[in-house]
A and B are shown apart, each in its own frame.
Chain A
Amino acid sequence: MQTRSDSRPWTFYALATFFALYVLFLYGPMICIFVLSFQGPQGALSFPMRGLSLHWFEDLISQTDTGDIHGAISRSIPLAIIVMAITVVVSVASGLAFRERFRGSGVIFYAALVSLVAPGYVLGIGIGLMFQLLGLQTDWYTSALGAQLTWTLPFGLLIMFAIFGRFNRAYEEAGRDLGADAGQVLRLVVIPIVLPGMIAVALFGFTLSYDEFARTLQTTGSTNTLPIEIWSMTTNVTSPVIYALGTVTTAFSFAVIIVSLSAIALIQRRRFGHARAGAGH
């Protein structure tokens, strides 16, 4: 061979450039609005920057230009936590169930697929109409909660498929051979092994709920969640206060992402650390 095995082919540099451009495309616009949200009181919706201040964040907190942001946040975060908890429990249970061949598993799989690919707004008006026909009130903790689960559960299920696809069932059998009952096998063997996957499901459950828009719009009743508040601002508000809200909500999402990914990294490191220590003996 002419080239050494560790020298990179030209395609590496071409693809690395392409990757860098994609990352710029992905983050560039977001960085623009973060920068624009720190403008002075004369600020406008586009560059150049007019001054530098926290004016628009103060505006956001005092709600002078906006709707009920505080109320929206006070509903969106509890809702996201409830959706996250339900998504984790139901996804793990369903993932366990799908490992066996049982009657109706095909129908349920395709029903979950429909729930994933159905246009969100269609499910939203469906839930709204169903509540209307049954004479029930729509509210964020009933109809909107259900609507968001139709989005987060299929994602949780897909992740659990990936996790259980690599899961070695010999560990469970070893647990049973050692005399553990079904509950102990689940608690002491299965859950510790799939814990990183469960954190990933929790991350999806929380963030997909926190940012959900199309399914929630017709199901949240008279009170808004944060994405709906943001949506109404895109049509009404023409000041950088909307960029300030974008910065705040994205920073919050980033905090959630960093906490989840760090937790996964910590578990993996501890696990591989043990494995390495074990191999040393």
Chain B
Amino acid sequence: MRWPQLTPYILIAPLVLVLLLFVAGPLCAVVAVSFFRYDNFAIIPAFSLDNYLHLATTHLTYSLYLSMIYFSFLTWVFTFLIGFTIAYFLVFHVRNPLIGIGLFLVCTVPFWTSNVIRMISWLPLLGQQGIINRGLMSIGVIDHPFKFLLFSDFSVVVSYVHLFTIFMIVPIFNSMSRIDRALFEASVDAGSSRWQTVFLVVLPLCKSGIVLGSIFVITLVMGDFYVVKVMSGGARASIVSAMADDISTLLFPQAAANAVILMIIVVMMVTLILRIVDVRKELVAQR
């Protein structure tokens, strides 16, 4: 006997309720408020395009979006290279499965701890008085501390890679573990080198993992609030931290308009990535 036809709808109802109340509703509120006017710190319901016009005519908007796309790209490149290499090592080189699981957990544990703490833990390392500069000076490699290590684009990207590489490792590890080992022998028998096997066999078969990881990393950087702000020493802002500055001066409609544009850009980026592979078909095992 099959479960009644109604069962899936009852089971999915709580999720739908949360998504309606705390995702769809709020996003509608953001869209609505983005057309409102504000005057003397009060929000006035209206239908005005002023907020969008203001953003479109401000040079800062473009430089913020460009700098976040630049950070997303750099972070994506490094997290992909590191994530792929680590997953490859864990899946294909560690022979004892228990050790494999142990090493995998070593990579994932920091994900379950505070990101803010993990970010500020770079400060005592990268500063002018930090360990890296002191170490390099004591062994005589440099005379003056490197200034680019902290409060620079360098420290921003280091923090992003530190925080987000896990989002690449897990999905790539997951799709790599499902690769049939016999394909390696087939590839070697067909005369391909080690590198050719990696590029022509392993890489295409991890496509869904890479896509999922890329979506995570790119959207996390685009929506970043605090890393750019803290790790650039206040010299740079992110799109979201600019939004937060607007909110702190009660410019809600302005921030809402910016949020709408950011949402559209993020959804466009994800849609573009999803065109490469149908993540839903890969994830959901439906009858």
CB pair A121 B120 closer than 8 Å: no
B56-64, B128-136, B179-187, B200-208 - the one binding chain A = B128-136
Give the interface centre of A23, A121, A130 by most chain B CB atoms within 10 Å. A121
Q: How far is the CA of A257 from the CA of B287 in the complex (A)?
A: 34
**Which residues of chain A are within 8 angstroms of B19 by Cβ–Cβ distance?**
108, 111-112, 115, 150
CB pair B262 A122 closer than 8 Å: yes
**Which residues of chain B are within 8 angstroms of A267 by Cβ–Cβ distance?**
none
A-B contact count (CB 8 A): 269
**Which residues of chain B are within 8 angstroms of A18 by Cβ–Cβ distance?**
85-86, 89
CB pair A119 B219 closer than 8 Å: yes
Among residues 98 to 149 in chain A, which have CB atoms less than 8 Å away from a CB atom of chain B? 98-102, 105-106, 108-123, 125-127, 129-130, 133, 146-147, 149
B33 within 8 A of A: yes
Q: How far is the CA of A116 from the CA of B270 in the complex (A)?
A: 11
Q: How far is the CA of A147 from the CA of B21 in the complex (A)?
A: 10
CB pair B117 A119 closer than 8 Å: no
CB pair A119 B121 closer than 8 Å: no
Q: How far is the CA of A96 from the CA of B286 in the complex (A)?
A: 10
CB pair A19 B112 closer than 8 Å: no
**Which residues of chain B are within 8 angstroms of A250 by Cβ–Cβ distance?**
113-114, 117
How many A residues face the partner with a CB closer than 8 A?
Answer: 91
CB pair A126 B29 closer than 8 Å: yes
Q: How far is the CA of A119 from the CA of B68 in the complex (A)?
A: 13
CB pair A100 B287 closer than 8 Å: yes
- Of the residues A146, A165, A257, contact of B285 by C-beta under 8 Å: A165
- Of the residues B7, B9, B26, B120, contact of A130 by C-beta under 8 Å: B26
**Which residues of chain A are within 8 angstroms of B89 by Cβ–Cβ distance?**
15-16, 18-19
B128-148 contact mask (Cβ, 8 Å, vs A): 1 or 0? 011100100000000000000
CB pair B109 A121 closer than 8 Å: no
**Which residues of chain B are within 8 angstroms of A77 by Cβ–Cβ distance?**
none
CB pair B8 A100 closer than 8 Å: yes
Within the complex, the shortest CB–CB distance from B89 to chain A, in Å, comes to 4
Within the complex, the shortest CB–CB distance from B264 to chain A, in Å, comes to 11
Known: A45-B123, A93-B15, A111-B24. A230 touches B116 (CB 8 A): yes
Known: A18-B85, A253-B112. A158 touches B30 (CB 8 A): no
CB pair A149 B22 closer than 8 Å: yes
Q: How far is the CA of A46 from the CA of B174 in the complex (A)?
A: 39
CB pair A117 B24 closer than 8 Å: no
**Which residues of chain A are within 8 angstroms of B93 by Cβ–Cβ distance?**
8, 11-12, 15-16
Q: How far is the CA of A46 from the CA of B145 in the complex (A)?
A: 14
B46 within 8 A of A: no
Interface residues on B, range: 35 or more
Within the complex, the shortest CB–CB distance from B101 to chain A, in Å, comes to 9
**Which residues of chain A are within 8 angstroms of B24 by Cβ–Cβ distance?**
111
A254 within 8 A of B: yes
Known: A125-B247, A129-B29. A214 touches B283 (CB 8 A): no
- Of the residues B7, B16, B82, B240, contact of A121 by C-beta under 8 Å: B240
- Of the residues B3, B23, B131, B286, contact of A150 by C-beta under 8 Å: B23
**Which residues of chain A are within 8 angstroms of B226 by Cβ–Cβ distance?**
213-214, 231
Within the complex, the shortest CB–CB distance from B15 to chain A, in Å, comes to 4
**Which residues of chain B are within 8 angstroms of A129 by Cβ–Cβ distance?**
26, 29-30, 33, 252, 256
A28-36, A51-59, A63-71 - the one binding chain B = A28-36
**Which residues of chain A are within 8 angstroms of B29 by Cβ–Cβ distance?**
126-127, 129-130, 133
Give the interface centre of A25, A45, A105, A126 by most chain B CB atoms within 10 Å. A126
B267 within 8 A of A: yes
A241 within 8 A of B: no
**Which residues of chain B are within 8 angstroms of A108 by Cβ–Cβ distance?**
12, 15-16, 19
CB pair B252 A33 closer than 8 Å: no
Known: A102-B12, A112-B19. A120 touches B225 (CB 8 A): yes
B230-266 contact mask (Cβ, 8 Å, vs A): 1 or 0? 1000000000100110010000100110010011001
Some 8 contacts from A to B, beta carbons below 8 A apart, are: A18-B86, A29-B121, A47-B129, A99-B285, A119-B219, A158-B283, A211-B112, A249-B114
Beyond contacts A22-B165, A101-B287: 5 other A-B pairs, Cβ-Cβ < 8 A, are A18-B89, A30-B121, A32-B125, A93-B15, A149-B22
10 A-B pairs with the lowest CB-CB distances in the bound complex, closest first: A119-B223, A126-B26, A97-B11, A29-B121, A146-B22, A130-B29, A97-B12, A207-B112, A15-B89, A117-B219
